[in-house]
Copies of this chain bind each other. A is one copy, B any other.
Amino acid sequence: MDPSDSLSAMTRRKSTPPTLSEVARRAGVGTTTVSRVINGGHRVSPETLQRVQRAIEALGYVPNQAARILKGYRTRTVGLIIPSIADPFFSECAEAIQAVARANGSLLIVTTTNNDPRAEIDNINVLMEHRADGLIIAPANSNSQMLRQVVGTLAIPVVAIDRPIAQSSVPAVVANNYRGAAIATEHLIGHGYRKILCLTGESTLYTIRERIQGYCRTMEAMGLEPLLDTSVKDYRSAEYAIESFLSAANPPDAILTLKNSTTIFAFEALQKFKVAIPGSVALLGYDDFELASTVRPSISVVEQPIEEIARLAAEALFDQLLSEREGGHSRRNAQSAQITLETRLVPRSSCGCSPRLPEITST
């Protein structure tokens, strides 16, 4: 980068980017040679190599991916379709997946659906137009006929994350939602609670439905009656739900929430009405969150191995990508496998446990 170079760069500024042939002309070589230099510099004499590299630097040349892709190359781009970037669960997923993508030399394009199946299909189309090499999807609706069909016709590998695509051969990496809720319910029952209210949040999602199953079956197995409340969507509705149960004749002695935000809404509402936790009512949440161990009382939760879910999904995708490219034996046995990861109950104070370790164990 000598002065004359940066000067030429300044001059070129805001004009069309330089092309490979311009580099070739400047270096006094053929386009083929430049191409070879860009792609590793094999079979090029040292002097030529240096001359070309100088020309590339002088012009600030950057290869045009569009042209490369057009020649049938992989785009080195994978798509991630999630409900929301702002959701902590999915932003942690995105972070982990991006790490894997980068390690594989690929770019990650994240698009969001807000759990709208239409937006989901749109996003798939956009990513197909951009010729993503593969897709990772957290389906808005696991049973969507539309999604199943669209994904079925896709010519690229797809991996589902957090929520499988029912009746399809799409591999999925999910948490064991059923067991997660079952463990939580068992834990509460073990503490002696009998009237356990379950706040589900949105009950249309696959993950939530699985958890509801886990809760209900466990309750029934113990001869207890399941108590479901699907109305809590935000703080307001949580307040309303808590208020109404406080005035009940025979109020619940424990609350199980099935979703991170629901836990927080419920906790805030309980605080608002100064309900003693776990004295009057125990609280057990789903998904760990920062401060869960700091608030008073600290909140017990079911923790999902988010980073691992994301990483395994990404690795599954790149496995397919690699095997597709290298061997012809695409779609190997790991193909339609569904990987299910176990969750872990993190006992804190709100369920009645007095934790043995110092409570605050932040990173």
* Residues of chain B contacted by A296 (CB below 8 angstroms): 295-296
* Residues of chain B contacted by A272 (CB below 8 angstroms): 358, 360
Binds B, one of A85-93, A194-202, A279-287: A85-93
> Is there an interface contact between A294 and B294, defined as CB atoms closer than 8 Å?
no
Q: Whole-angstrom distance between the alpha carbons of A131 and B17 in the complex? A: 10
> Is there an interface contact between B125 and A62, defined as CB atoms closer than 8 Å?
yes
Q: Whole-angstrom distance between the alpha carbons of A125 and B70 in the complex? A: 20
> Is there an interface contact between B77 and A86, defined as CB atoms closer than 8 Å?
no
Q: Whole-angstrom distance between the alpha carbons of A12 and B152 in the complex? A: 11
Q: Is A363 an interface residue (CB 8 A)?
A: yes
Q: Whole-angstrom distance between the alpha carbons of A288 and B148 in the complex? A: 41
* Residues of chain B contacted by A17 (CB below 8 angstroms): 128, 131, 155
Contact of A234 among B13, B268, B363 (CB under 8 A): B363
* Residues of chain B contacted by A155 (CB below 8 angstroms): 12-17
Chain B residue, CB-CB nearest to A128:
B62
Contact of A295 among B69, B92, B291, B358 (CB under 8 A): B291
* Residues of chain B contacted by A111 (CB below 8 angstroms): 98, 107-108
Q: With contacts A98-B85, A268-B360, A271-B360 known, is A67 near B70, CB below 8 A?
A: yes
In the complex this chain forms, how many copies of it are found?
2
Q: Is A149 an interface residue (CB 8 A)?
A: yes
For the complex formed, measure the closest distance between the CB of A93 and the CB atoms of chain B, giving whole angstroms: 9
In the complex, chain A residues 285-336 whose Cβ is within 8 Å of any chain B Cβ: 290-291, 293-296, 330
The 8 A CB mask of A344-363 against B (1 = contact, 0 = none) is 00000000000000101011
In the complex, chain A residues 233-270 whose Cβ is within 8 Å of any chain B Cβ: 234-235, 264-265, 267-269
> Is there an interface contact between B264 and A291, defined as CB atoms closer than 8 Å?
yes
Q: Whole-angstrom distance between the alpha carbons of A6 and B152 in the complex? A: 10
Contact of A65 among B94, B129, B291 (CB under 8 A): B129
Given contact pairs A63-B129, A67-B70, A271-B360, a sample of 12 additional A-B residue pairs in the complex whose CB atoms are under 8 Å apart: A10-B152, A14-B330, A17-B155, A62-B128, A65-B129, A70-B70, A95-B112, A98-B111, A235-B360, A268-B294, A268-B360, A294-B295
Give 6 closest A-B pairs by Cβ, nearest first: A235-B362, A66-B69, A9-B153, A91-B91, A86-B95, A66-B66
- Chain A positions near chain B (C-beta within 8 angstroms): 6, 9-10, 12-17, 60, 62-67, 69-70, 75, 77, 84-86, 88, 91-92, 94-95, 98, 107-112, 125-126, 128-131, 149, 152-155, 234-235, 264-265, 267-269, 271-272, 290-291, 293-296, 330, 358, 360, 362-363
What are 5 A-B interface contacts by the 8 Å CB criterion? A66-B69, A86-B95, A88-B88, A235-B360, A264-B294
